[in-house]
Amino acid sequence: AAGAAHELGTPLGTMAILAGELARNPRLDADTRADAALLGEQVAHCKAILGGLTLRAGSLRAEGGETQAADRWLDGIVERWRRLRPHVPLATHIDCGHPAPRLVADATLEQALHNLINNAADASPDGVECEAALAGEALVVRILDRGPGLPEGCQPGQPTPATGRGLGIGLLLAFGAVERCGGRIEFNPRPGGGTLATLTLPLSALCP
């Protein structure tokens, strides 16, 4: 529920911007601008409701999920993200071995990776990269951007403040989902500028 609320925050934010522009457009008649202002107020109410939902809702691992190969699971997440944000180039290099291990599809972990890519895209709209590979008994996913880097005062390996325009809970949800399966997320400066986010997931918690 918290993940769904976070995803809904982005389209609601877009609607709020458009409603505001319509309400201020002098070329529209007064009744239309009043309707647009009312629409903006209703969108604000929706965002407030979602904000309350995220405070109350728990995010539990999906049980009985579908099993699929790790590379197909990651490819699916990437393609869904590309459809939502087609204007931000996302380069990928996914090598999970042959054959790739089969995982239990987990909606909360999918949301976590989606949020990490979103965070990188917000910081680096000209393009981000996603790499994935096996490292021992873990699946390691790296998200690389060329944004401004870690915020001042943020230590490598620690969570970074949310910088997007949404409800500001994307990273909080990501850390919660990953920690529940015994994994970890680390943020470090990227050589040459930007940020490297590393998501490490133990296969013992993912494989059926």
> Tens digits of per-residue pLDDT, 42-97?
888 888 777 766 665 544 433 445 688 999 999 999 998 998 888 999 999 999 99
Give start and end residues of each alpha helix (H) in the chain: 2-23, 30-56, 70-84, 107-123, 170-180
Of 59-68, 146-155, 172-181, minimum mean pLDDT range: 59-68
| Residue range 198-208, pLDDT digits in tens | 999 999 888 86
- pTM here is 0.67
Burial 150-172 (b: 16+ CB within 10 A, else e): beeeeeeeeebebebebbebbbb
Q: Indicate the range of 1-10, 101-110, 176-185 predicted with least confidence.
A: 1-10
Q: Which two tokens stand for residue 37?
A: 């202002």
Q: How many CB atoms lie within 10 A of CB 13?
A: 16
